[in-house]
Amino acid sequence: MKAICLASATTVILLLLATLGFRFFPSRRRVRQMMMIYLACLLALIGVWSATPDDLGFLSRSLTTEPSWLDLPLALFFFSAAFFGGALQLYNLSDRGLSLRILIDVLEAPNESLDVPELMAVYGGGQGISGMYRKRIEGLIEEGFVCRAHDSIVLTAKGVNTAALFARIRHFLRLRPP
Amino acid sequence: MTTSHTFIALLSAAAWFSIFIAAHITGWRAGFENARWLMITYTTCLLGSLLTVIGISAGAGSTGFDLLALAVTFLTGACLFVMYVPAVYTVLTSLSVQTMILLHRSSGGLSEGALYDRFAGRPVVEDRLATLVASGYLVAEGTRFRLTSRGRALARIFAFVKGFWRLGPGG
């Protein structure tokens, strides 16, 4: 139970630090900002785990993990899952979610109602649907998956490998090719 | 006794999660509706893992309710699930991934105009609107789309998060 308590507390601290970072130290590379906070919190979690007793001073004997060494990997796993599956996904959905952005655009529209041409024009707070795709292309370029060559977009070697992997997975899952 | 129960909890969660992945992918390949099938298989396997731990504890003659083992089982399954789902949706819906696959099928390159026509055009928006209607977040009224109460609640939550984190319009 020590693992659960410490991982939960560290997740709350991570969310507070991420909020402070986003609000007062705005950066274009927010994922990197979150990763730095995650790593700092991970080190702090290891430090606090090492410095505290197995029962944290208040847990009953039946709630302490034995062998005690198993508790640290559990704490790191729970915290990492809370970050990669929770906080980071919350950020990704909030910042990049196409469906969620559509819902927010409808919410912000007069009478909370839009048709397709209106939605394509006002999408993303007025940037339009092409702004959404521009963001994806720029992201792929920044991560080194594609590059610009004249007026074309071309896969890099890294992009070729990644595309081949995803194509195989989608083929296995019997998904339509894009 | 506690030692073995914690290990059993981890093993049970890992084993049942493996069964969940196998069942989910099998159903996916068979054409089952993804979101519903995902939740059915996950819930079933989570219950299976919890019942396994309860059964083994009872069989070992444990007299007390092993709260720690149940908590570890539940959390391990939940943690694996929240890391699995984003991977599923990356494969299923990511426009970045689909862009790379299309480029791969087109000998590695395409004009920007062709990519924008394919991924920033009306069909992509219509497809996503149809998914949102099918999921109960939007309702179609003629050519217009309106939020359901469920869609309004979700939109308000994420609009709040975006504002609170000062993320800008995004999307």
Closest by CA to B166, choosing from A15, A94, A36, is A94
Do residues A40 and A83 both lie within one domain?
yes
Mark whether A8 and A29 lie in a shared domain.
Answer: yes
> Does position A164 have pLDDT exceeding 90, yes or no?
yes
**Tens of pLDDT, residues B85-111:** 999 999 988 999 999 999 999 887 899
Pair (A110, A24) in one structural domain? no
State whether A123 and A164 are in the same domain: yes
Of A77, A96, A115, which marks where a domain is finished? Answer: A96
Last residue of a domain, one of A69, A96, A123: A96
Tell me: do A29 and A76 sit in the same domain. Answer: yes
Within-domain flag for A60: yes
Which has the closest alpha carbon to B151: A101, A143, A58, A119?
A101
Statement to judge: residues A64 and A105 lie in one domain? no
Express each pLDDT in A80-98 by its tens digit: 999 999 999 999 999 888 9
Average pLDDT over chain A reads 92
The CB density around residue B28, as the number of other CB atoms within 10 Å, is 21
Is A100 close to B154, i.e. CB distance below 8 A? yes
pLDDT at B163 over 70: yes
- Mark whether A22 and A72 lie in a shared domain: yes
The reply to whether A20 and A63 lie within a common domain is: yes
Which residue in the block uniquely carries the two structure tokens 């024009």?
A121
Q: Is residue B132 within 8 Å of residue A102, measured between CB atoms?
A: yes
Position B1 pLDDT exceeds 50? no
Say which residue, B56 or A5, is predicted with more confidence: A5
Q: Which residues of A touch B83 (CB under 8 A)?
A: 81, 84-85
For residues A143 and A164, state if they share a domain. Answer: yes
Query: Looking at the complex, does the CB of residue B109 fall below 8 Å from at least one CB of chain A?
Result: yes
| High-pLDDT (> 90) share of chain B, % | 66
The model's confidence at residue A172, banded by pLDDT at 50, 70 and 90, is: very high
State yes or no: pLDDT of B113 exceeds 50.
yes
pLDDT reported for residue B61? 64
Measured CA to CA, the distance from residue B123 to residue B126 in angstroms comes to 5
Which of B2, B75, B155 faces A62 most closely, judged by CB atoms? B2
**CB-based contact A137 B167, cutoff 8 Å:** no
More confident residue, B91 or A59: B91
**Torsion on CA atoms B117, B118, B120, B121, rounded to nearest 10:** 70
Bridge-partner residues for B109, per DSSP? A154
Contact A116 B124 (CB under 8 A): no
Side-chain half-sphere CA neighbours of B64 within 13 A: 11
Q: What is the pLDDT of residue B64?
A: 53
Query: Nearest C-alpha of chain B: how many angstroms from A6?
Result: 14
**Residue A135 belongs to some domain of the structure:** yes
A178 in a structural domain: no
Whether residue A110 is preceded by a cis peptide bond, meaning omega within 30 degrees of 0, is no
Please give the pLDDT value at position B65.
Answer: 56
Q: Tell whether A84 and A8 lie within a shared domain.
A: yes
User: Is B65:B4 a contact under the CB 8 Å cutoff?
Assistant: no
Q: What are the chain B neighbours of A173 within 8 Å (beta carbons)?
A: 25, 28-29, 91
User: B2 at the A interface (CB within 8 A)?
Assistant: yes
Question: Which strands make up the sheet holding A152-155, listed edge to edge?
Answer: A146-149, A152-155, B109-111
Contact residues, chain B, for A38 at CB < 8 Å: none
Kindly indicate the confidence band of residue A155, based on its pLDDT and cuts at 50, 70 and 90.
very high
| pLDDT higher than 90, residue B58 | no
**Element containing residue A12 per DSSP (H, E):** helix A2-24
Query: Pick from B98, B83, B85: which is nearest to B34 by CA?
Result: B85
Domain count across chain A: 2
CB neighbour burial string for A39-48, b if at least 16 within 10 angstroms, e if fewer:
eebbeebbee
Q: Is the sign of the CA dihedral A10, A15, A21, A24 positive or negative?
A: negative
Contacts 24+ apart (CB under 8 A), A135-144: A135/A96, A135/B171, A136/B95, A136/B96, A136/B99, A136/B119, A137/B99, A137/B112, A137/B115, A139/B96, A140/B96, A140/B99, A140/B100
Residue B63 scores a pLDDT above 80: no
Report if residue A6 sits inside a domain: yes
Residue A37's domain comprises 2-96
Q: Let me know: does B119 contact B100? Beta carbons within 8 Å.
A: no
Identify the three-state secondary structure at position A53.
coil
Q: Do B67 and A62 touch, CB atoms closer than 8 A?
A: yes
Using an 8 Å CB-CB cutoff, list chain B residues near A106: 138, 145-147, 151, 155
How large is the ipTM?
A: 0.83
CA dihedral sign, ordered A95, A18, A29, B89: negative
Closest partner CB to B104 (pick from A65, A78, A155): A155
Higher-confidence position of B34 and A8:
A8
Q: Does residue A177 lie in a domain region? A: no
Query: Which among B109, B144, B170 has the least Cβ separation from residue A153?
Result: B109
Question: 10 Å Cβ neighbour count for A28?
Answer: 7
Instruction: Assess contact for A127 and B169: CB atoms under 8 A.
Output: yes
